[in-house]
Structure 1
Amino acid sequence: MSAAPAPPSDTPSAFTYDRWRHGGWYVLEVRYPNGAIGCVSRNYPDRKWRIVCDRRPGDITYRSRDAAARAEYQLARAQHADTSTANSPAPVDNSS
């Protein structure tokens, strides 16, 4: 059994990319709690950068690949925080 990926720390100053077969870019520094890797693309009619698997409401676009990667990094970081909070034991009331 493999360990869960470590939560991301401070935002990197630069990101590393690998081509994605559908015209986007994997963002190697972005890892979600489920182990998925980040991916950004501008393979859209308007050629604006987006986070490929962004499930937030609205059409969120970015000016550059790095801006999209940085936003996705923060999105994954928030999911790691939500996961660790959900897995924390409930506080015990010992006041009685």
Structure 2
Amino acid sequence: MVDPFNAADPFDATAERIRTMLCEAVIAVINTADYSRLSPEKQIEAVICGITTGLLSIAFACIEPAGRDDITAFIKSYIDQARIQVEGIQFAGGSTQ
């Protein structure tokens, strides 16, 4: 079970700011001519490729090289929890953007 969002919690507030900024950045890309020239399949592939590569780039910059396997495993394990959070936001009528 995922704990409910708490805007007063510095972790939750930071994670939410990063989430919304990421969404804003992707929306800006979606509004470009390059993106619109891609097929729908390539559009989502480009978004996922850019986000995951960026995620690992940021994570690797924050840790020693010896920790790369551990942080990669953590990111993989977190995907299901992230889905639960997104579905909770949507269920509550919130924006996932």
If asked which structure has higher relative contact order (CA below 8 Å, sep 6+), I would say 2
TM-score, normalised with respect to structure 2: 0.35
Larger relative helix fraction: 2
Larger relative strand fraction: 1
Computing the radius of gyration from Cα coordinates, the structure with the larger value is 1
